[in-house]
Structure 1
């Protein structure tokens, strides 16, 4: 293609190609056609990036909070001023609906960058004091060092923000690797950052899994942060452990939606349709498992079936009724299709259930009822536009179903009974519990999971603290009072 776009690495403030010239095709999942190429970087490129990040850290770590704040605020302004350009890049790279990307991703991204810009100036610690006579102790909170970061393909630009914003606010330097299928928006942002931040403070290295492995194994980074699958997280944690690096892992999810008999059925249908199928269900917090009390099970499923059947997928930039676009890549489409095709005989497919005809990697919005706890569709992360339903009788049974997977990222409870909501929120083994809603996030509150959903927090002051280390300073002065 003569008009094929070219994506580059960004190292030490400069646009660079892969050292060995290797390139990857980047596909628009709405059409299945190649629209760009990007470097498939080697360990040599990774080393160059970390040399730059290490050198930049020597000065960036001493930047003042106000200096870091101004840089991040300037970045937010640049993104806001050029939002239409970035949206077009993201939608070509992911196939997402333009209107939803503009309304649901750009505003929170800007808010998150601006939150961390402010958070850089309000880090707190224990007060200085005499804990031993004649000695004054104080606490220093310092940037952990250069960091390696791996962003996923489901929200390429937003997850890049979740990575670099707290790290830069804390005084760390960054080597960011976007997904091999969605590097375009990350490249755009990091290129813009070179006009704002000193060279080497934020570097971008594109590539495949081997590039990511070189990133996590490199001796310079002091922390490795990844948003991705549990399998990828285990690989990163294993690699990081060889050098005693810190690991920050935001991994898979299998979010239960526990619906009691007294719930507002219309609100549940509206909430689960949005939270289950938005972004083609490619969200680790997606409302994937409806666990419904027996008294409203049939009524709720009938209403959900009608709602799902009316949900539109496709790619038309002018159609604002489309809720979600394609699955990101052929491998993920095959994964989703395989899980649905292997649905057990006792399951009922109430809506969808197959790939949409035509070009691209589209899968119909799908609803499957009457699943059992040990079914593959309940235990395996689908990461596609598929919602399942189970029936429960008692609160304890609902809790056992909800907690009965290896994941522990997000969950929701739907009830008018505040006592039930309080008990469930305390007993659900998930990093987030929503009550009578599902999926809203705010910059001030932490996002992160338990069990095989990983550890570490994104967003909030907890996310900023993850990129810092604690030092005790004790000064002997001799005065004992």
Structure 2
């Protein structure tokens, strides 16, 4: 997959040589270096060391990729749904047959444990690709009919055109699938930019795709924030899609507006977890430990805000603190007991550490609260209690292994706390009372509400948020429809019917 070359790294004054991988752009079916030759260092977040390099692409590279995508679109748009289905099914088979190789790449890419990545991400990715392969064949418009005498109207649902897509660093390979699978199923062509810190697994998949899809149907351009800005601003794409921070989404929406292209935004989250007095504490603690700390909390739907009814507040936090303290983290890809590895990069580690260090005096840190001492970007699983609604830790997305807790008295206060941030992506309600669950799910201002669970996703159901968590849907038929446009076709035939 990658060419290799030795590079010298400096660590604590000593010099050693490692085998450094090199990733590339993939444009029009060809592996290409960046036009100006600029490269970025890629760091394994578990070790803090450079292990690879990738192009830092220029606007010229982005333009070349879009030209390839536009040329390919003129043929791919007329491919039949069955042809698109077959190509996606072949890709799923290739990933399944080479899953161990891809997971090893992703582990080095992100510091994630091997077994957990294999069990939690690969099956979901395969299911999602195969779902969109089938969904390509069932896109529907409204029925044909006569809505004006002597004329027949019909609806065409067409691929929107070439699209630009920016994938995040928290789930590099799975989020790439969320991007390209619905777009390709709809008949669009793609220019995909992985995160500048995690290009490895996206590069592997797009390289494999060149053996399955026609040249230029799916292109890969590596680079930093400036590359992403060029990708969004370019006039060719008819839609740009990003999974990332709210700040990044605002910039994408503003840039897209200049050429009136569509924006598909899946942005930050601050998921509240409403826990009522009648909850099964043991089951809830087990589920929420996983949902809050999986992937080091680097999940926009992570169970980050525990909003606990005052009758069980102390009991629940005592059990939760014990569970968090026993959560194993670190970097041993073969250790099945490790729940999560490092945060992704030094900047993110600084963000997490800074938020915890600024915790107000009324807050209690019940577990964790420190950066770990080993190499890499590790932070302890942390639980912070007694926070108030206006605290920075409640209002700001942490995106790290930190869960907060606050208490509430009744339903109205719980809703006020839950809905009282700028985010609206995901939430959950934990109770045995069906009436409470029904009322809460109707009034929570979030794109997803789980009841007595938190974080499961299925390909058939949409994923997307409200407010500053963005707009547009991933997964499901709604996600596929986002990559299409609607055309009305009216034909005059002269028969008006029923007239004497």
For the criterion TM > 0.5, the same-fold answer is: yes
Structure 1 counterpart of 2:172, from 152, 156, 165: 156
Query: Shift of residue 268 of structure 1?
Result: 1.1
Is 1:383 matched up with 2:410? Answer: no
Unaligned runs of 5+ in 1: none
Structure 2 counterpart of 1:232, from 248, 261, 281: 248
Is 1:131 matched up with 2:147? Answer: yes
DSSP 3-state at the match of 1:4: strand
Is 1:460 matched up with 2:482? Answer: no
DSSP 3-state at the match of 2:339: strand
Deviations 1:427-473 (A, max 9, x none): 00000000000000000000000000000000000000000000000
Match runs of 1:24-43 below 5 Å: 24-43=40-59
Name the counterpart of 2:437. Answer: 421
Name the counterpart of 1:396. Answer: 412
Unaligned runs of 5+ in 2: 1-6, 8-17
Match runs of 1:326-475 below 5 Å: 326-475=342-491
Q: Tell me how far apart the structure 2 counterparts of residues 176 and 11 of structure 1 sit (CA, whole Å).
A: 10
Structure 2 counterpart of 1:177, from 181, 188, 193: 193
2:459–2:475 contact (8 Å) kept in structure 1? yes
Q: Tell me how far apart the structure 2 counterparts of residues 171 and 245 of structure 1 sit (CA, whole Å).
A: 18
Q: Tell me how far apart the structure 2 counterparts of residues 328 and 190 of structure 1 sit (CA, whole Å).
A: 22
TM-score where L is the length of structure 2:
0.96
Query: Shift of residue 318 of structure 1?
Result: 2.1
Query: Shift of residue 271 of structure 1?
Result: 1.1
Aligned residues: 481
Q: Tell me how far apart the structure 2 counterparts of residues 367 and 187 of structure 1 sit (CA, whole Å).
A: 36
Query: Shift of residue 267 of structure 1?
Result: 1.4
Q: Tell me how far apart the structure 2 counterparts of residues 397 and 293 of structure 1 sit (CA, whole Å).
A: 10
Is 1:219 matched up with 2:235? Answer: yes
Q: Tell me how far apart the structure 2 counterparts of residues 397 and 150 of structure 1 sit (CA, whole Å).
A: 38
Deviations 1:16-67 (A, max 9, x none): 0000000000000000000000000000000000000000000000000000
Deviations 1:192-238 (A, max 9, x none): 00000000000000000000000000000000000000000000000
Query: Shift of residue 252 of structure 1?
Result: 0.1
Q: Tell me how far apart the structure 2 counterparts of residues 429 and 260 of structure 1 sit (CA, whole Å).
A: 18
Q: Tell me how far apart the structure 1 counterparts of residues 213 and 272 of structure 2 sit (CA, whole Å).
A: 42
Stretches (4+) displaced over 2 A: none
Match runs of 1:224-373 below 5 Å: 224-373=240-389
Q: Tell me how far apart the structure 1 counterparts of residues 19 and 312 of structure 2 sit (CA, whole Å).
A: 55
Deviations 1:69-116 (A, max 9, x none): 000000000000000110000000100011100000000000000000
Match runs of 1:113-132 below 5 Å: 113-132=129-148
Name the counterpart of 2:14. Answer: none
Name the counterpart of 1:61. Answer: 77
2:107–2:333 contact (8 Å) kept in structure 1? no
TM-score where L is the length of structure 1:
1.00
Match runs of 1:83-94 below 5 Å: 83-94=99-110
Q: Tell me how far apart the structure 1 counterparts of residues 51 and 102 of structure 2 sit (CA, whole Å).
A: 16
Deviations 1:407-433 (A, max 9, x none): 000000000000000000000000000
